[in-house]
Chains A and B, each alone.
Chain A
């Protein structure tokens, strides 16, 4: 019995990253609560990070660049999650709902 060596080809990682990006985009459009949208956004960021790490492993002449970039993406994502969640809590205080369609005060 034999099995292809999946972990050694760039295209596999790119396809995984594309799949995470597609699922995250689908969730971002499909979800109706703000927290669900935030979760889908984290999936999109994970897809982008996997892309960077795959290129770092297979194509980059300096194999630290992708790791540094992924660490920065993690830091930005943590800051973004903290800010977005406090905004969501403030929205919930004012509107008693976190449904994206209920937060429509400016709609005429």
Chain B
């Protein structure tokens, strides 16, 4: 326990706020009827996740989270919502048995099981750190230990761009104004 009006206490308060932002955004992202609101909830949730990364001593990953997820992935999903123009989901009607309370129960069960597992395990802290985990060290390990994975992921991204272009273009050239 730390006193509330000190640096640690206030940072703890901000941490609670960030966690609540994350969970609230996740609930909005899964529960809203309109997909545009769900994407907004996803962006809020990812801003909270970036704050959590900041509390985990890695501001670089927090920055990348904001840049890639909030800036790129959410905007891409908004574009897809605009192009596909979905109607708001009608909850009633043809739903499988999983769509109702069973999925909620499964989610609660997973959350409870993972939390209980995390609480019961005796985690062993490391005896020594080989570096301080700063941005310099991250860059050095990206270009030495993990350079193979680094090159592979650039190939994966290139193939994903080409594949997305091919997939999204196909119907347009073949059918033209089919409706």
Contacts of A80 in B (CB 8 A): 160
Contact of A29 among B12, B106, B161 (CB under 8 A): B106
How far apart sit A15 and B110, CA to CA, in the bound complex (Å)?
Answer: 11
Q: Are the C-beta atoms of A6 and B61 separated by less than 8 Å?
A: no
How close is B137's CB to chain A, nearest CB, in angstroms? 5
Contacts of A90 in B (CB 8 A): 167-168, 170-171
Docked complex: A45-60 residues within 8 A CB-CB of B: 46, 49-50, 53-54, 56-60
Beyond contacts A5-B2, A26-B106: 10 other A-B pairs, Cβ-Cβ < 8 A, are A14-B114, A36-B38, A36-B89, A39-B39, A50-B49, A58-B125, A60-B126, A63-B133, A89-B84, A93-B171
How far apart sit A77 and B174, CA to CA, in the bound complex (Å)?
Answer: 30
27 contacts between A and B (CB under 8 A): A5-B12, A11-B118, A20-B23, A23-B23, A23-B27, A23-B30, A24-B30, A27-B29, A29-B102, A35-B38, A39-B77, A40-B29, A46-B45, A46-B69, A54-B56, A58-B123, A61-B130, A64-B140, A71-B64, A74-B68, A74-B69, A75-B157, A76-B156, A82-B164, A83-B164, A85-B79, A93-B172
Q: Are the C-beta atoms of B168 and A86 separated by less than 8 Å?
A: yes
Q: Are the C-beta atoms of A85 and B108 separated by less than 8 Å?
A: no
Docked complex: A1-52 residues within 8 A CB-CB of B: 1-7, 10-11, 13-27, 29-33, 35-36, 38-40, 42-43, 46, 49-50
User: What 6 A-B pairs have minimum CB-CB distances, sorted nearest first?
Assistant: A63-B133, A26-B107, A22-B111, A27-B30, A79-B160, A18-B114
- Let me know if A103 is at the binding interface, CB within 8 A: no
Q: Are the C-beta atoms of B118 and A68 separated by less than 8 Å?
A: no
Contacts A33-B86, A67-B133, A71-B64 hold; do A20 and B26 have CB atoms under 8 A apart?
yes
How close is A80's CB to chain B, nearest CB, in angstroms? 8
Contacts A16-B52, A57-B57, A86-B167 hold; do A6 and B99 have CB atoms under 8 A apart?
no
Contacts of B127 in A (CB 8 A): 61
Interface size class of B (residues with CB under 8 A): 35 or more
How far apart sit A86 and B175, CA to CA, in the bound complex (Å)?
Answer: 17
Q: Are the C-beta atoms of A25 and B106 separated by less than 8 Å?
A: yes
> What total of chain A residues lie within 8 Å of the partner, measured CB to CB?
79
Q: Are the C-beta atoms of B118 and A18 separated by less than 8 Å?
A: yes
Q: Mark B141-175, 1 if CB is under 8 A from A, else 0.
A: 11000100100010011011101110110111001
Contacts of B128 in A (CB 8 A): 61
Contacts of A59 in B (CB 8 A): 123-126
Q: Mark B1-26, 1 if CB is under 8 A from A, else 0.
A: 11111001101110110010011001
How close is A39's CB to chain B, nearest CB, in angstroms? 5
